[in-house]
């Protein structure tokens, strides 16, 4: 198997640029290695790099990313839009679950909150 080349991608979202490391293999389904995710005036940092592998949906038209432990499920027409959706969903998950009082969450939502807090932090 040939060695994979690592590069940096910059995704514009509002006034912030999202820095996500990529493993290149010349397709829209190349792996996404995430450490920092800036969104607006906020930045989230994964405690360990998170590697996600985009795949096309059953129609072959939409790119999808999923990572069930922290509730990620995004889809879009292009890789650029997919990464923008990913940044937006990480911010939403953080606000809706990680920052919420346990008393306002269901048992499943509390598990999601714990997984989010274990995986990333707002810096």
Q: How many domains does the chain have?
A: 1
Strand order in the sheet with 63-67: 55-56, 63-67, 72-76
Structural domain including 95 reads 5-122
What is the DSSP code string of 73-88?
EEEESSHHHHHHHHHH
The structure's pTM equals 0.76
Question: How high is the mean pLDDT of the chain?
Answer: 81
Residues 81-92 have a mean pLDDT of 94
Chain-centroid distance of CA 79 in Å reads: 12
Instruction: Report whether pLDDT(31) > 70.
Output: yes
């Amino acid at each position: 198997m040939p060695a994979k080349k690592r590069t940096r991608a910059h995704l514009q979202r509002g006034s912030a640029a999202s820095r996500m490391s990529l493993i290149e293999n010349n397709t829209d389904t190349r792996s996404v290695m995430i450490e920092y995710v800036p969104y607006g005036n906020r930045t989230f940092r994964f405690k360990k790099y998170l590697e996600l592998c985009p795949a096309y949906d059953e129609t072959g038209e939409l790119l999808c990313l999923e990572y069930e432990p922290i509730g990620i499920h995004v889809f879009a027409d292009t890789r650029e839009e997919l990464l923008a959706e990913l940044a937006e969903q990480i911010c939403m998950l953080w606000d809706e679950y990680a920052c919420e009082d346990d008393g306002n969450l269901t048992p499943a939502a509390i598990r999601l909150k714990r997984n989010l807090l274990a995986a990333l932090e707002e810096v």
